[in-house]
């Protein structure tokens, strides 16, 4: 895994997709960092400790449960499309990297 080429490819794909907003990109970057820390396994899980750390982050920044419920509903609606779009973007980025 070439970290820099991967991120450059992903950011190129992000710039082409007008449906993505900063929240989507931030979520991807957080998951990418977690994936990186774990040495890029094919599958990874987020455990209870990770969730606790995320909850502390929310508390520190004053993110309420109400906001998270609304955000979660919005994310659930959009994640299916986003997941498909990101998967296609990743495939395109990997093809671009392999063709360089």
pLDDT at 60: 73
Tens-digit pLDDT profile for residues 3-41: 888 888 888 888 888 888 887 887 788 888 888 888 888
Q: What is the 3-state secondary structure (H, E, C) of 62-73?
A: CCCHHHHHHHHH
Tens-digit pLDDT profile for residues 31-80: 888 888 888 888 877 777 777 777 776 677 666 667 666 666 666 666 56
The whole-model pTM stands at 0.48
The distance of Cα 61 from the centroid of its chain, to the nearest Å, equals 20
- Report which of 88, 99, 97, 73 is spatially closest to residue 14, judged by C-alpha positions: 88
Range of the domain at 20: 3-98
- What three-state secondary structure class fits 80? helix
Q: How many domains does the chain have?
A: 1
pLDDT at 87: 75
Q: What are phi and psi of 18, to 5 degrees?
A: -75, -10
């Amino acid at each position: 895994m070439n970290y820099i080429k991967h991120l450059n490819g992903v950011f190129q794909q992000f710039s082409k997709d007008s449906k993505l907003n900063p929240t989507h990109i931030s979520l991807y970057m957080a998951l990418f960092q977690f994936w990186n820390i774990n040495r890029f396994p094919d599958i990874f899980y987020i455990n209870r400790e990770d969730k606790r750390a995320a909850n502390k982050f929310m508390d520190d920044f004053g993110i309420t449960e109400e906001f998270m419920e609304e955000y979660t509903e919005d994310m659930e609606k959009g994640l299916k499309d986003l997941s498909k779009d990101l998967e296609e973007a990743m495939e395109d980025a990997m093809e671009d990297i392999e063709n360089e």
